[in-house]
Structure 1
Amino acid sequence: MNIGRRRLLTAGITTACVGAALGAALWIGGTQQESNNGQTGRQEAVAERGRTVMPFDLEETTHHFTPNETGGIQDVVADQPDDEKQIALIRTHLKQEAKAFGQGDFGDPAQIHGDSMPGLTALQDGYERIEVRYRERSDGATLTYTTDEPALVDALHDWFKAQLSDHGDHAETGH
């Protein structure tokens, strides 16, 4: 290979590497900067990915995450308690998630929040030692996560915190 072609190839590789690093920096930086609607870039990206996984409208529903001594409670409720469409969609989705989580399938949260989501790997590895119960409520549905292993309780709490952060205005800490 002649020197000119080698320099051109080196310049191209360098440009590609710099571009990839810049893209990553912008993604990470964008996660912290707020957009015009008050959401961070990461929250907007999570909401967009969430629309492909969750059938209900994030703008018309709220997630509540309540950590407790044995795991935690996740409620998803319609913002309008008489919104039968959103309530039905919430119930269908959470029934499916309860079944999937009980089988160690946390693919939906991974798709929305990323494979490196805090707590996710521990939950996938320890799913057989976590009981996931589904229950309907008048305005949506509830998943209750119970385990007697402190490390899995911690993983559930980390997982809840990550969802609270990532969902922004679409999520709240429960009471």
Structure 2
Amino acid sequence: MNIAKRRLLTAGISTACIGAALGAASWIGGSQQDDGAGRTDRQEAVAERGRSVMPFDLEETTHHFTPTGTGGIQDVIADQPDDAKQVGPIRTHLKQEAKAFGQGDFGDPAQIHGDSMPGLAALEEGYERIDVRYNERTDGATLTYTTDEPALIDALHDWFAAQLSDHGDHAETGH
């Protein structure tokens, strides 16, 4: 390849990478207006859409997202461990999500966070190569995602990061 073509190809790749990075940053950043409760407009919109998908109260629960070397762990727990009003619906919802994700149906996260959510397309495409396991906890439930494909591990980590950003004070990085 001659130098002129190589420079043109390099410029095109650089432009595409910059465009992708700006697109992801604008998705994650959303509107940064604070609603007075410490949430951005995007986080409030996500919380509102979440209320129509998740049967538990986001104000009474917390999502924990823990990236791992083989995927990740998502815990949803009641803020008050003995709160049966939250624990039961958390378990029901995550059990349904484990089944749906195992069949490639990521419709609930797409409805809450949008179809362009980072990692979502790769997870939908590679769902057959991701093991999703449901487990109960005394204060909620856990989904464990496992794969041996680096690209899917990266997609899970991106997906977790997007949820952390979007859920704001309703989510934490797990330990």
TM, length-normalised to structure 1? 0.83
Give 2:139's aligned residue: 139
Distance 2:30 2:66 in 1: 28
Aligned length: 149
For residue 35 of structure 1, report the CA deviation from its aligned partner: 1.4
Structure 1 residue 30: Cα displacement? 6.3
Structure 1 residues 156 and 28, CA gap change in structure 2 (3 angstroms): closer
Alpha-carbon distance in 2 for matches of 1:97, 1:87: 15
**Residue identity opposite 1:156 in structure 2:** L
The equivalences for 1:90-105 within 5 A come to: 90-105=90-105
The residue aligned with 1:111 is 111
Matched-pair contact (CA < 8 Å) for 2:70–2:147: yes
User: RMSD in angstroms over aligned alpha carbons?
Assistant: 1.5
Q: Which has the larger radius of gyration?
A: 1
**Which amino acid is the alignment partner of residue 72 of structure 1?**
G
Counterpart position of 2:166: 166
Which residue does the alignment assign to 2:24?
A: none
**What is the alpha-carbon distance in structure 1 between the residues aligned to residue 140 and residue 126 of structure 2?**
27
Name the SS for the 2:118 alignment partner. Answer: coil
Aligned to 2:56, what secondary structure does the other structure show? coil
Counterpart in 2 of 1:53?
53
Verify: 1:42 aligned to 2:67, yes or no: no
Please report how far the alpha carbon of residue 40 of structure 1 lies from its aligned counterpart in structure 2 after TM superposition: 0.1
Structure 1's 143 and 30: CA in aligned 2 closer, same or farther, altered over 3 A? closer
The residue type paired with residue 101 of structure 2 is F
* Closer/same/farther in 2, CA of residues 39 and 66 from structure 1, 3 Å limit: same
Whether 2:142 is the aligned partner of 1:126: answer no
Note the C-alpha offset of 1:29: 8.5
Question: SS of the residue aligned with 1:153?
Answer: helix
What are the Cα deviations for residues 31-79 of structure 1, in whole angstroms up to 9, with x where unaligned? Answer: 2121111100000000000000000000000000000000000000000
Distance 1:127 1:30, change over 3 A: closer
Q: What does residue 9 of structure 1 align with?
A: none
Extract unaligned runs of 5+ from structure 2.
1-26
Aligned amino acid, residue 46 of structure 1 = V
SS of residue paired to 1:32 = coil
1:148 Cα deviation after fit? 0.1
Quote the Cα distance in structure 2 between the aligned partners of 1:28 and 1:147.
25
Matching residue's letter, 1:167: H
- Measured at CA, do residues 142 and 28 of structure 1 come closer, stay the same or move farther in structure 2, by a change above 3 Å? closer
Q: CA deviation at 1:28?
A: 9.7
* Distance in 2 separating the partners of 1:109 and 1:142: 16
The ranges of structure 1 where at least 4 consecutive aligned residues each deviate by more than 4 angstroms after the TM superposition are 27-30
Q: What is the one-letter code of the residue matched to 2:122?
A: A
Distance 1:105 1:57, change over 3 A: same
- The yes-or-no answer on 1:64 pairing with 2:64 is yes
**Percent of aligned pairs with the same amino acid:** 85
